[in-house]
Structure 1
């Protein structure tokens, strides 16, 4: 990969300035800085890609790892740079890098680059990425990879930008877009802000990487003529026109996100962005990261707007309840709470009726019980998730049933006012997570179960993870207006129905 004389000269000037004053603190922050510039190449015939430049105000010792990039993220490929598409320099000239593959701190297969001498002054890294070449017959995975859509590109920062391997260090990041090789009407959007002017944010590498972006000839909601959204700094972006009414979907998401923010006590006013991707391979679905998510559509899988609204509500809910265990436990909690609270909060917010709520809950139970992998352990379902699509859905259904039972147990043991519920546990755990990321674990969840339900609650939690005996919803698990019945045998299917004499429109049914 050849770089221009102008780049080498500009690096020399930067080094001369920075090295002369490297003992001084950065102007705007005491944190080491990592500045990123992304240049989409959208105006070249027969070529589409994105060039990146990374400037790091960080010192690296001889043989120290300079950068790491996952090769895959839950089966979705990254840019997968090589020594031909990624190079680095410092004040002394070009850096010789040693490339190796292994497992990253996030348990993903990763590529590492180490420097062969100590660095001096700022380190500049340049890389060239191309969109992933799609196999139309492939199974749709998580939407992390870099894609070409219309006259633009979109993807996750996780798949695009390599960073130092220390995922606990705090940095000051900035992201700038250079649109000189983009259409005149091109726009750029990132989870933390719109371009092309630089957006600055401080945090760990996860704060920067676990985000989405899109650039090119792009449509957005709200447009200039739209009224102000209920949620501050909420936007939706798409590069190809979907087969559904985007404005209707965007307004629904806005209303749900606003209500959810209140429930989850989210008052920080951070942006929230939704990206819409056209999938070349057959399939739909969504993937959530920090303060944003991407969902995909395909012409052969036109999703009804009401079903799409439920999918998006699930992805939005991932923004709050989670634990940091990258394993089966983390997956069951994340997917179970997303299933449970996406429907429960839509119901509470009058965005779906009680009849729709019951129908959707029952549909999820039936899907779980008819799943041929229903008796897999949590661990086995986690290990087989990207080999067998039905195994991937086990934590969704199992987590949902477990949480409805937990809610019933919490209501049963609470005081006569009935104020204790599943809400008590998940909100208390969220407070712990906000106070300390390192404490946001399954261990803390188990402590809360013991606090409210005793050792029996902990034992039941572990028993459910074995997949046997088959988990069943408790009698009061959906509230006072519903009862549990077995609707099918061999295989057994348990669902809810209205109790005789109960009025679905009654406020007494809503919990």
Structure 2
């Protein structure tokens, strides 16, 4: 796709196998009718030992409930010489598959993910296991990203951070949470992303930490990475209503629902714990909204405000509306537990060095070059064509990671590498603090 951050729907032929989402190759039935559906594979012409896996499980599988066109298009398929976990996985419950050769033990990663999925099921009261598949495949452009689909999640790996196992675990924890959580759908679309993405970012390390699946250092790393990306952003106070219009055009806007949403929910969680003496926390509100959604309600901001009034009073609503207007949330020093305390450090802002819209356009031609920026000093010029898509969401949070652009100028293709950073600012972070032996760090 022209822009780097795009969902991994399209066909991949890596490693002699193939994978794709249903929306790119299935002929879909019209209308909203739900159909009895069976997914199967003809592997007679495939390499020896090939297997086929879909969102419903391995081999030929009939869906437990009728599927409409939306569920069919949002299904995922992978076949050929692929890896699977467990080796003889059932069609009911958690399973996984991978394509290509990741630079880590994919089976061990999927075993970890399956254990976390079990914790999620228990937390959210899912008594009857439903099929849920995790698919891994290579992405040379925006490794580490992914997309949630029907009974499935697809994530991608690559090199560098894209092969970092700790980072991929957090991605999987985030995306699986989406399968269980409630959603605010009014207002529709990206204006409500603060809720869905903010919640998933809040819980992506907190729950694995709570369940003993990552340690305190891994939790702290995830917290500080998110905080650094947000508190150094020049767009930190952009009102939520402006997010949809600029979501794809500017990575600093695109990451706001995740980062600002996570930090806002941390303030709510802390306020609930303080007011209730530890009897309530963010889980209380999330489970209440989930029950309302399961009863048939389409959740809106007003439903969230109802919960805030009940548990935190009018001030909770006032703080929420200020957050939507762009107020910068700042969790208390002890908001993440007794083992961590808030501090400040000097960090540099992310600065691409030219108009951010360029990277979302079909033909990426540099304009709006910032005089004196790292991009300009490295040799980027207005009118240069950027040959390859450029992912930014991850690099925006990495203080020392350089950006490499492959440029075309006057018919000549060459590369330019620079550190996309601008001014230095004070940013909030958290640090480990000494605690008594036996103190439980996880909340």
TM-score range, shorter chain: 0.7 to 0.9
Could you say which residue in structure 2 is the equivalent of 1:196? Answer: 60
In structure 2, do the counterparts of structure 1 residues 302 and 193 end up closer, same or farther at CA, with 3 Å as the change threshold? Answer: closer
1:494 equivalent to 2:428? Answer yes
Q: Does 1:264 align with 2:129?
A: no
Matched, 1:506 2:370: no
Equivalences, count: 365
* Structure 2 counterparts to residues 273-292 of structure 1, below 5 A: 273-281=133-141, 283-292=143-152
Deviation string, structure 1 residues 393-441 (Cα, Å, up to 9, x no partner): 1111101101110001111222x4x2111010011111222232x5244
Alignment of 1:415-434 (within 5 A): 416=277, 418-434=278-294
TM-score by length of 1: 0.65
Corresponding position: 1:377 with 2:310:
no
Please, which of 1, 8, 14 is the counterpart of residue 149 of structure 1?
14
Name the counterpart of 1:461.
320
Name structure 2 gaps, 5 residues minimum. 348-423
Which structure shows the higher helix fraction? 2
**Measured at CA, do residues 346 and 428 of structure 1 come closer, stay the same or move farther in structure 2, by a change above 3 Å?**
same
User: Counterparts in 2 of 1:243-258, with a 5 A limit?
Assistant: 243-258=103-118
8 Å Cα contact 2:84/2:96 also seen in 1: yes
Report if the CA contact (8 A) 1:333-1:399 is conserved. Answer: yes
Per-residue displacement from partner, 1:217-255 (whole Å, max 9, x unpaired)? 32211124xxx89x9632211221212111221121122
Aligned equivalents of 1:271 and 1:162: distance in 2? 23
Structure 1 position 444 matched with structure 2 position 378 = no
Counterpart CA distance in 1 for 2:338 and 2:122 is 25
TM-score, length of structure 2 as denominator length: 0.74
2:372 corresponds to which residue? none
Distance (Å, rounded) in 2 between the aligned partners of 1:462 and 1:504:
41
Give 1:413's aligned residue.
275
CA gap of 1:146–1:445, structure 2 versus 1, over 3 A, is farther
Measured in 1, the distance between the counterparts of 2:265 and 2:4 equals: 30
**Looking at both structures, which has the greater relative contact order when contacts are Cα pairs under 8 Å and sequence separation is at least 6?**
2
Alignment match of 2:25 (pick from 157, 160, 165): 160
**Displacement of 1:324:** 5.0
The structure with the larger Rg is 1
- Give yes or no for contact 2:247–2:253 (8 Å, CA) kept in 1: yes
**Whose strand fraction is larger, Structure 1's or Structure 2's?**
1
Cα distance, 1:292–1:282 mapped onto 2, change above 3 Å: closer
**Larger displacement relative to structure 2 (263-272 or 177-186):** 177-186
Q: Is 2:348 aligned against 1:473? A: no
Between 422-431 and 169-178, report the one with greater CA deviation.
169-178
Measured at CA, do residues 464 and 324 of structure 1 come closer, stay the same or move farther in structure 2, by a change above 3 Å?
Answer: closer
Partner of 2:195: 333
Residue deviations 1:255-276, cap 9 Å, x none? Answer: 2111122112222210111111
RMSD between aligned residues: 2.8
- 1:173 and 1:444 map into 2 onto residues whose CA distance is 36
CA distance 1:347–1:280, shift in 2 (3 Å): closer
Q: Is the 8 A contact 2:342 2:429 kept in 1?
A: yes
Counterpart Cα distance in 2 of 1:460 and 1:146: 45
Do structure 1's residue 314 and structure 2's residue 159 form an aligned pair? Answer: no
Question: Structure 1 residues 242 and 355 mapped into 2: Cα distance closer, same or farther (>3 Å)?
Answer: closer
Contact 2:144 2:171 in 1 (8 A): no
Single out whichever of 321-330 and 481-490 deviates more from structure 2. 481-490
